[in-house]
Amino acid sequence: MKFLSVDDSSTMRKIVSLALKGAGHTVDEAENGKQALEKLKGISVDCILLDINMPEMNGIEFLRARKSVPSIANVPVFVLTTQDEEALRNEAISLGAKGFIVKPFQKEALLSVVNSGI
């Protein structure tokens, strides 16, 4: 499958990318929500892994913005964040996020959540 990893931390993008590539997937990267929206004009992906705290456009803003882009409105999004807060979780889910993964995470946990939710 084709993934898009959206995170302002290059280290985190690398960790996500290595885990998914190791499982046979392909991964594109974006540094924030705005860059992800730009990138998604030119490529199609099966799943988006989304950080919340990012400059330019954060994860919540991205979840909201993607609703008005028909080509990506239904692509599954999993939120990856260090903030394990119920209010944030509920907001992300209400905006259509399929799941929530708290950083730091084990590679196996990421793969199993992603596999079960697509």
Among 14-22, 43-51, 65-73, 110-118, which window interacts with Mg ion (CB under 5 A)? Answer: 43-51
Q: How far is CA 49 from the centre of its chain?
A: 2
Residue with smallest beta-carbon separation from Mg ion: 53
- Report CA dihedral (42, 97, 67, 74) to the nearest 10 degrees: 60
State the binding string over 58-97 for Mg ion (x if CB under 5 A, else -): ----------------------------------------
Rounded to a whole number of angstroms, the minimum distance from the CB of residue 19 to Mg ion is: 17
Minimum CB distance to Mg ion smaller for 18 or for 73: 18
**Number of residues forming the site for Mg ion (CB under 5 A):** 4
Task: Describe the crossing of helices 59-66 and 86-94 by its angle, rounded to 10 degrees.
Answer: 20
Task: Describe the crossing of helices 10-22 and 107-117 by its angle, rounded to 10 degrees.
Answer: 70
Query: Is residue 50 within 8 Å of residue 42, measured between CB atoms?
Result: no
Among residues 28, 29, 31, 51, which is the contact residue for Mg ion, using CB under 5 A? Answer: 51
Rounded to a whole number of angstroms, the minimum distance from the CB of residue 72 to Mg ion is: 20
Residues 107 and 20: their CA atoms lie apart, in Å, by 8
Rounded to a whole number of angstroms, the minimum distance from the CB of residue 80 to Mg ion is: 9
Q: Is 53 in the site for Mg ion (CB under 5 A)?
A: yes
